[in-house]
Structure 1
Amino acid sequence: MSPVKNDHITVNTQNSIRIVNAEGTVIYIDPLGISGEPADADLILITHSHYDHFSPEDIAKIRKPSTKYVIPKSMIGDMEKIGASMMDYVSMEEGDRIGLAGVYISAVPAYNKLKPFHPRRNGWLGYVIDCDGLKIYAAGDTDALKENTSISCDLALIPIGGTYTMNAREAASFVNELRPAAVIPTHYGSIVGKPSDFEEFKRRVEEGIEVIQKLSF
């Protein structure tokens, strides 16, 4: 299997992801720890309202007047914190699909089954982004949910740090069922998890799935 194109994707820290498509559209997911003030975001996708995923300070560094936001419906009340009007954002619930700025975005569930940190009732989300013919699944903060193993994706960004999400072992089992062509682990090595989680995760992922390291420590 040929490697999956991924040089247009960066992971800054935690679940802070930046994607640039062939048309130059810049998409951020959960921006955090942004250096400088690039003011280059065409789209900002927020998975949920925890401080390490919804950071008004970092959003201020990347937004521009035309920036559009994609958020869970339950976060509408939070948008005033970043000065966004109703014209600036699209709210989604799991199962929704929208087209925005030349890409298609589908909302999928992201929650903890037993842990209290991300209850399903909050309606927080992961996203599948259809970009340049590549389906990119950004899981957000979630457990390994059986219902999500049927998601069709070429590349998955999956949390592996444990505590608030699946750990390296659970994430590998989930990915082995999901069967993307490639996976980028996120959400480890800083606030939760440790850098060595990457090696455990990689060791447990089955052959035929490319494991790509984007976070560095």
Structure 2
Amino acid sequence: MLDNIEVFTQSSIRIKNKFATIYLDPFHMKEEPHDADYVLITHDHYDHFSVEDIRKVIKQDSMLVVPAAMEDEAGELASEVKSIVTVTPGIYKEIAGLELETIPAYNTVKPFHPRRAGWVGYILRIEGKRVYIAGDTGLTKEAKQVKCDIALVPVGGTYTMDVKRAADLINTIRPEVAIPIHYGGIVGKKSDGKSFAELVNSPVKVVEKIQYFE
């Protein structure tokens, strides 16, 4: 499963299995693979909802999943995908065979991602594993209640959790594997992944996956 998860830059993620290819927040894509069965968007900031990059990965039968507040913005792509599905925080949904849950993603002490916006992280159920992609979030009570096997969490600070808070979250929810994201580009240092790993307690395994630093 771990080998099937790629992180390109920022929070741009591709997860492949034998059934589907799933993208989350595609951004600064260097190629145009047009292989997405699903594209999941966490919120509408430019480094997470990039129409230009979504167009590089979608094909005519792709499913685009967005927070409900983004329905109008996502409508620009309506003619280029099979359908647009909206979600709200705190739900379970099955979308054409993909099982997912949404976790509220918001800042607790910063203004950049207000809870009222209705933005999300996702838990994907893939090959018997629960994969949590946190989105741009702080150390929230909902995040601390997540049960997952693999967690992809932002560590760059400024707009999200920093290294210490991200490690606090991982040490609370204790997945098998933690993958740091959202650092070494617009925010955070390239070294944040290693700093995060040093703060995560055994037996959680930390794996750095970012391929491109900005």
Q: State the superposition RMSD in angstroms.
A: 1.4
Pair 1:150 & 2:145 matched: yes
Pair 1:202 & 2:197 matched: yes
Counterpart residue type for residue 10 of structure 2: Q
Shift of 1:82: 2.5
The residue that corresponds to 2:103 in the other structure is: 108
Residue in structure 1 matching 2:210, options 187, 200, 215: 215
* 1:100-126 alpha-carbon deviations (Å, 9 max, x no partner): 242201111000012111000100000
**What pairs with 1:85-124 in structure 2 (closer than 5 Å)?**
88-124=83-119
- Which range moved further: 76-85 or 47-56? 76-85
CA gap of 1:75–1:179, structure 2 versus 1, over 3 A, is same
Q: TM-score, normalised by structure 1?
A: 0.94
- Identity of matched residues, %: 45
Report the 3-state secondary structure (helix = DSSP H, G, I; strand = E; otherwise coil) of the residue aligned with 1:172. Answer: helix
Q: Quote the Cα distance in structure 1 between the aligned partners of 2:62 and 2:52.
A: 15
The residue that corresponds to 1:20 in the other structure is: 16
- Which range moved further: 151-160 or 99-108? 99-108
Contact 1:79 1:85 in 2 (8 A): no
Q: Quote the Cα distance in structure 2 between the aligned partners of 1:180 and 1:155.
A: 6
**What pairs with 1:1-217 in structure 2 (closer than 5 Å)?**
5-23=1-19, 25-84=20-79, 88-216=83-211, 217=213
Q: Quote the Cα distance in structure 2 between the aligned partners of 1:85 and 1:73.
A: 19
Contact 2:60 2:81 in 1 (8 A): no
Q: Quote the Cα distance in structure 1 between the aligned partners of 2:93 and 2:80.
A: 19
Contact 2:149 2:177 in 1 (8 A): yes
Gaps of 5+ in 2: none
Contact 2:89 2:102 in 1 (8 A): yes
Gaps of 5+ in 1: none
Shift of 1:86: 9.8
Shift of 1:80: 2.3
Regions of 4+ moved over 6 Å: none
Shift of 1:84: 4.7
Q: TM-score, normalised by structure 2?
A: 0.95
Contact 1:112 1:120 in 2 (8 A): yes
Shift of 1:148: 1.7
Q: Quote the Cα distance in structure 1 between the aligned partners of 2:84 and 2:105.
A: 20
